[in-house]
């Protein structure tokens, strides 16, 4: 399991979780900044406010198609009464809310809320605390984006370098000296599909027919492991071409190599760390 990210705000460590492509921030950790002994009490006090209930309802109505708006109207009418109380568990169970929830786990339990809601809670806690929370959160997101960009650019660069080696070998050993541009294009596409079949088990056209709604191509949808193996296959195929092996023999060797390398990479700790953004370091 991937470890959650952490930021430090006003000497307080705060855990962040990534769930359903959204960031959730620990309200429990945030509340400890104000009162380490009564964090749950602070969260419940905040959740019983009319302004909080209104905001949570608006957020859920916008982002959550399964939100129980009918039940919410009844709960909203109770806000302001001395007997009214609200907890993350009740919000999730009675209203099918997804913006705030309680969890347990080895990496820290507590109450977590979507970043939008967490920022509202921070405003209630302290304007100064919210200011530094937002700054640290933005810094973390920029660092994560830089790391993802660096990893992607590395793989794209490797693919481009190997593709040049690959096409140069094709040009030298397969394409006749006098050919039309159409013939050149066909030969390159043919060799590219040789690699596609060896690695993905299908040609680019076959993949496109199976995925008509996709905006990318078969290689755009490749996993990190597949991209690494693809770079290796391009270099190997270039060598096999120079050695004069026909496509049928090259396909057999490339496919066997892809199987072995993918099996190895799927269990390799370095690849796992790369995909997890170095969280295990």
**What are the sequence ranges of the domains in the chain?**
5-125, 145-275
Question: Residues for the chain: how many in total?
Answer: 281
In the prediction, which pLDDT does 176 show? 35
Rounded distance, CA 227 to CA 132, Å? Answer: 39
Q: Do residues 68 and 38 touch, judged by C-beta distance below 8 A?
A: no
DSSP state of 3: P
- The low-confidence residues of the chain, meaning pLDDT below 70, are 1-2, 105-108, 150, 161, 163-189, 266-281
In the prediction, which pLDDT does 116 show? 95
Rounded distance, CA 204 to CA 66, Å? Answer: 38
Strand 5-9 versus strand 12-19 pairing type: antiparallel
In the prediction, which pLDDT does 170 show? 52
Q: What share of the chain is helix, strand, coil (3-state, %, to 5)?
A: 65, 10, 25
In the prediction, which pLDDT does 268 show? 56
Cβ-Cβ contacts under 8 Å for 77 (sequence gap 6 or more): none
In the prediction, which pLDDT does 87 show? 92
Q: Report which secondary-structure segment, H or E, holds 237.
A: helix 224-242
The token pair at 12 is 């307080």
Cβ-Cβ contacts under 8 Å for 48 (sequence gap 6 or more): 79, 84, 85, 86
CA distances from 268 to 35, 155, 238, 261, 271 (A): 43, 17, 26, 10, 6
Rounded distance, CA 57 to CA 64, Å? Answer: 10
DSSP state of 2: P
The token pair at 239 is 């060598």
CA distances from 264 to 193, 200, 236 (A): 24, 16, 17
Helices 224-242 and 247-266: angle between axes, nearest 10 degrees? 150
In the prediction, which pLDDT does 86 show? 93
**Angle at 118 (CA atoms; ends 112, 122), nearest 5 degrees:** 125
Rounded distance, CA 158 to CA 265, Å? Answer: 17
The token pair at 72 is 């919410």
The token pair at 103 is 């969890």
In the prediction, which pLDDT does 165 show? 63
Q: Report which secondary-structure segment, H or E, holds 103.
A: strand 100-103
Q: Which residue has the tokens 């919410």?
A: 72
User: By C-alpha distance, which of 214, 185, 35 is closest to 125?
Assistant: 35
Q: Which residue has the tokens 């004069």?
A: 244
């Amino acid at each position: 399991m991937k470890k959650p990210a952490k930021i430090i705000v006003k000497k307080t460590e705060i855990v962040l979780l990534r769930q359903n492509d959204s960031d959730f921030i620990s309200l429990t950790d945030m509340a400890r900044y104000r009162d380490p002994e009564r964090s749950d009490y602070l969260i419940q006090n905040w959740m019983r406010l009319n302004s909080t209930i209104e905001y949570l309802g608006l957020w859920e109505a916008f982002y959550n198609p399964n939100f129980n708006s009918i039940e919410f109207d009844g709960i909203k009418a109770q806000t302001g009464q001395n007997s009214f109380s609200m907890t993350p568990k009740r919000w999730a169970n009675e209203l099918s809310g997804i913006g705030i929830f309680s969890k347990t786990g080895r990496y820290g339990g507590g109450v977590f809320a979507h970043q939008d809601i967490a920022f509202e809670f921070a405003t209630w806690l302290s304007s100064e605390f919210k200011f530094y929370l937002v700054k640290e959160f933005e810094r973390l997101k920029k660092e994560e984006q830089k790391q993802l960009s660096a990893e992607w650019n590395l793989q794209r660069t490797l693919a481009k370098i190997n593709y040049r080696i690959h096409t140069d070998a094709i040009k030298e050993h397969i394409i006749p000296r006098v050919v039309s541009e159409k013939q050149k294009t066909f030969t390159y596409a043919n060799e590219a599909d040789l690699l596609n079949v060896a690695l993905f088990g299908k040609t680019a056209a076959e993949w496109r027919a199976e995925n008509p709604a996709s905006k990318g191509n078969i290689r755009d949808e490749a996993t990190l492991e597949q991209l690494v193996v693809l770079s290796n296959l391009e270099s190997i195929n270039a060598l096999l071409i120079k050695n004069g092996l026909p496509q049928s023999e090259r396909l057999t060797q490339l496919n066997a190599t892809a199987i072995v390398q993918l099996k190895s990479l799927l269990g390799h700790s370095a690849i796992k760390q790369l995909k997890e953004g170095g969280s295990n370091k």
